[in-house]
Amino acid sequence: MKRVVHFFQLIRWSNLLFIAITQLLFYFSIFNFSYAFFGIAPEKGKLDLETFYPILFASLCIAAAGYIINDYFDVEIDRINKSGKVLIGKVFNNQIALWLYALLTLAGLIFTVLAAFHLNNFFIFIFNSLAVLLLFLYSRIFKRKFLTGNIVVSALTAWTLFIFPVAEYNPGSLNNQPFQLILKFALIYGLFAFIISLIREVIKDMEDTEGDKNYDCTTLPIVMGIKAAKAYSTLLILILSILLSFLIGYISQNGWWNLAIYGVFFILFPLIFILKKLQSATTSKDFGFLSKSVKFIMLTGILSMTFFLFFK
């Protein structure tokens, strides 16, 4: 039983739950809203429930495999940065970890193939295969490289949303109004996911500077210093805040006041709070708190999709 608990810790069950919530909300609120907005039944879309669930399971398996291979390559660094949370080498030996990675990756690709055949759309297989490759390269190479790892993992965060327009795509999609709206929502939420994830990755790099230095990592805080990393994070927060302000203004003009108020109090104000706290942060504990705070904003941002369950 204890080994099962450790397995769920290894695959970051809380992060997988976050991915599941994101995709469930996008499908049942955004996807359905995009068809209902034009008076079309969601069933008219290519992506039905029978295909959605294989896509969801594929995303979860691929992400879980990514967490395992990331820990596999980071064992020595994690012994410094997260000494009490290292599982590979203690609970799971290297060979078992690689087998688990291979099995979960295979399961993710099998689910992807099932969805691709059902949709008659093999772009989705290429899309998920690319995600598998990037997760491996991120863990093996990019994570230790200047900014590259941050950008790759942020793009992979947005991947969980862009899978929907990829799955729904067909040669005539660009002239299809519901598809156009799905694509717009994917771009908005995907851009939000990308920028907020980029902010969190840089803050995590500041938190893990001590362990990263010992293994020749070239992250932003190591190459340019904590002050430069703070300035970069500040710029990203300001850019995201400005974009959100424009979006909230646009939402208000359309009469969606509940969503606008939610955006101000649960996304914009917390971002300003993080911006203020970032300036005075100095210790690993400070940056750890900020990392968790950014994750909270990621959650509130995704939960804003629930409002589209009620809009007509």
SS (H, E, C) 262-302: HHHHHHHHHHHHHHHHHHHCCCHHHHHHHHHHHHHHHHHHH
Summarize the confidence of residues 236-256 as an average pLDDT.
Answer: 95
Helices and strands of the chain, counted as H and E runs: 15, 0
Collapsing DSSP states into helix, strand and coil, what is residue 126? helix
- The DSSP letter of residue 27 is I
Sequence length of the chain is: 312
The whole-angstrom separation of Cα 128 and Cα 187 is 18
The domain defined by 2-309 folds into Farnesyl Diphosphate Synthase (1.10.600)
- How far apart, in Å, are the Cα atoms of 207 and each of 13, 246, 291, 311? 22, 31, 9, 41
Instruction: Examine the pLDDT at 83 and tell me if it is beyond 70.
Output: no
The whole-angstrom separation of Cα 152 and Cα 147 is 9
pTM reported for the whole predicted model: 0.92
pLDDT tens digits along 33-56: 999 888 887 767 778 888 999 999
pLDDT tens digits along 94-130: 899 899 999 999 999 999 999 999 999 999 999 999 9
* Domain residue limits, the chain: 2-309
Token pair recorded at residue 287? 């940056």
